Structure 1
């Protein structure tokens, strides 16, 4: 069922549910610095296609990730370090959109579920890789392309980008900025891919714009909550939730 049809049949219920999802996703991002697209697409895909869920993600993801790219004074240096990876992200996403089409059909929820399981499972192991500076130019485009292909198939762009960025051993602030850059590029590439595949509609863009407010509200709440609890404990609970959600999507599909 298309998003416009869903809105016509449930003009109040669906926007209310989507609002709650983006409020929760923003809260997670406010606490741990990431997770908005993963939570939003993972939950929304339970009652709409992954392509429709990804379309709703575009505006909130873009705005929150551009904000995360601060501080602007160090942005140039980080871009010079990450541009090979970002070229791979764009190439992989657009190639995947041309190859796979928009994330839809029975295989897309399975792919999304498997991506969530892989990401959560890896994070829960607590293992970290290390990438030597001399290997970044070679590995960056490969990781970016793989991330783009996963993005075009599932609408989620954390695998394998986040494990790779963690392996670069940046400072905490540097890692947050690096993720902001990668997520911003992935969001723009995903928007272009969805447009290429004709997976977006006026209703989806309008609702995506409206979802910016609950996403930002959730981020503000998350930032306040972060001062009251351990981000590490919250992250563990978050990853367990993603693991269960991914498993549920695979079994359901």
Structure 2
């Protein structure tokens, strides 16, 4: 009886619209682009996961830049107040304004910052091998392609106009360059001090700014430590 009474309660139900993206029914391309447009959500989840397990200051700074980028987008939207195209097409829209596109601005910030990180932050040695450069080029192309596809998806799905995604891309790219320069010139010199704070030591927050290739460094250190422990274990057994 209680269940029946609960079901009869008159209430206006609203969905969680964080990942709510609509596409034309039966349109396979639209469905694929709808999933691609969720890229910013997946990237944010990846950042939170990466920070939880790595706790590296530059990664935290990168996420901070993305948050600031979203804040700037919200301010610009509410100043310009340009409406989205085809009003009434979609049942749920988180914000009524469309200039600049937040998806486009987010993805181009992420892609341009990552591009600068790959070529300026990680490329600090003169003995770069062919394969090392090749994977950077491939990853850079993938990043820029992903940013373009997400921007295109917003136009295809009629959430934005071409001008709105273009302005979003320009704004995101500009902010990415500015934030990267600020991080390199002002924040990076402070990272050793921040990493030495008692609270940073408590949460195991670290600074890897002076390590050119953190992936290779972690691989070699882990391999050396594993071999060292294996030798010690073998000695004890004998």
Q: Between Structure 1 and Structure 2, whose CA radius of gyration is higher?
A: 2
Name the structure with the higher helix share.
1
TM over 0.5, shorter chain: no
TM superposition score normalised by structure 1: 0.27
Structure possessing the higher relative contact order (Cα contacts under 8 Å, 6 or more residues apart): 1
TM superposition score normalised by structure 2: 0.28
